[in-house]
């Protein structure tokens, strides 16, 4: 992967595939990560250089295997339900082993990609396809994907740019972040998707037809809205209406029904003896 210095070249790389796939050229990038991500060449190989460690399983405590469970809540489902945040960071050499190229699974009629080489966890991609297919049956189309899997190096670039813009950024853990720590971004797992609508960019609220449909139905396909506005003090991340995370249908439905974050779900688990 190369870091492009010239903004013009990066913008062209982003907009040309969008134009070809039918999305409006009036896309406005809504997240700070998306905006500063313009200088990253996402068309290059996503595999980090000189990172020999490849694993699909995080440490046990992150996968939830070190907990016991009450009868009324679903068990953590290994890697799919991994909790990643500032307190549960991934190793910088962590690379998920089951990544799939999204375009090989989901056609342009269902989803426009900012980057045609975008990758994500295969199970999550299949669930995303099912979800968008169901949305199309309900007459909701025009979905757009801003970002999914990121390498540690890509996230590090975003972090360094943010720190350059705001010296001391991230030093106060009580202040929710707009750009996650390099090892604390869910995008490293391949389970997170920044979704939006063609012509509008990532979802900024739930007033669009795509946003309304997702917030009401995503859990049925295993996705949660990961960073709600009223829970920023718990997640450590600002309100991100575009960020949907795959955790599996059982956990997603439990979180949706109980209006929880993933952090609150794990807090309801009892540590194993």
Is residue 241 classed as helix, strand or coil in its secondary structure? strand
CA atoms within 13 Å, Cβ hemisphere of 132: 24
Instruction: State the DSSP code for 79.
Output: G
Catalytic member of 134, 230, 240, 264: 240
Query: Cα angle vertex 266, ends 127, 126, to 5°?
Result: 5
- 134 an active-site residue? no
Name the β-bridge partners of 225: 244
Q: How many CB atoms lie within 10 A of CB 54?
A: 11
Given the structure tokens 């009450």, which residue do they identify?
70
**Chain-centroid distance, C-alpha 62:** 17
Q: Which residues are catalytic?
A: 240
């Amino acid at each position: 992967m190369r870091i492009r210095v010239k903004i013009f070249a990066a913008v062209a790389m982003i907009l040309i595939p969008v134009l070809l796939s039918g999305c409006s050229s009036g896309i406005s990038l809504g997240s700070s990560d998306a905006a500063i991500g313009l200088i990253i060449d996402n068309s290059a190989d996503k595999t980090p250089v000189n990172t020999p460690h490849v694993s699909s399983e995080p440490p046990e405590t992150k996968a939830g295997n070190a907990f016991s469970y009450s009868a009324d809540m679903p068990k953590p489902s290994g890697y799919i339900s991994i909790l990643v945040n500032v307190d549960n960071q991934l190793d910088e050499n962590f690379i998920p082993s089951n990544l799939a190229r999204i375009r090989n699974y989901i056609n342009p009629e269902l989803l426009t990609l900012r980057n045609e080489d975008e990758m994500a966890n295969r199970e999550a991609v299949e669930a995303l396809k099912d979800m968008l297919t169901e949305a199309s049956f309900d007459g909701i189309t025009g979905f757009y994907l801003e970002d999914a899997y990121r390498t540690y190096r890509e996230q590090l670039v975003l972090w360094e740019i943010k720190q350059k813009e705001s010296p001391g950024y991230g030093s106060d853990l009580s202040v929710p972040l707009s750009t996650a720590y390099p090892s604390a971004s869910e995008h490293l797992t391949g389970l997170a998707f920044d979704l939006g609508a063609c012509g509008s960019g990532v979802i900024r609220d739930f007033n669009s037809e795509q946003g309304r449909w997702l917030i009401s139905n995503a859990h049925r396909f295993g996705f949660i809205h990961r960073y709600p506005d009223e829970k920023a003090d718990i997640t450590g991340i600002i309100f991100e209406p575009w960020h949907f995370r795959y955790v599996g249908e059982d956990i997603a439905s439990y979180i949706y029904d109980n209006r929880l974050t993933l952090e609150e779900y794990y807090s309801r688990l009892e540590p194993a003896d």
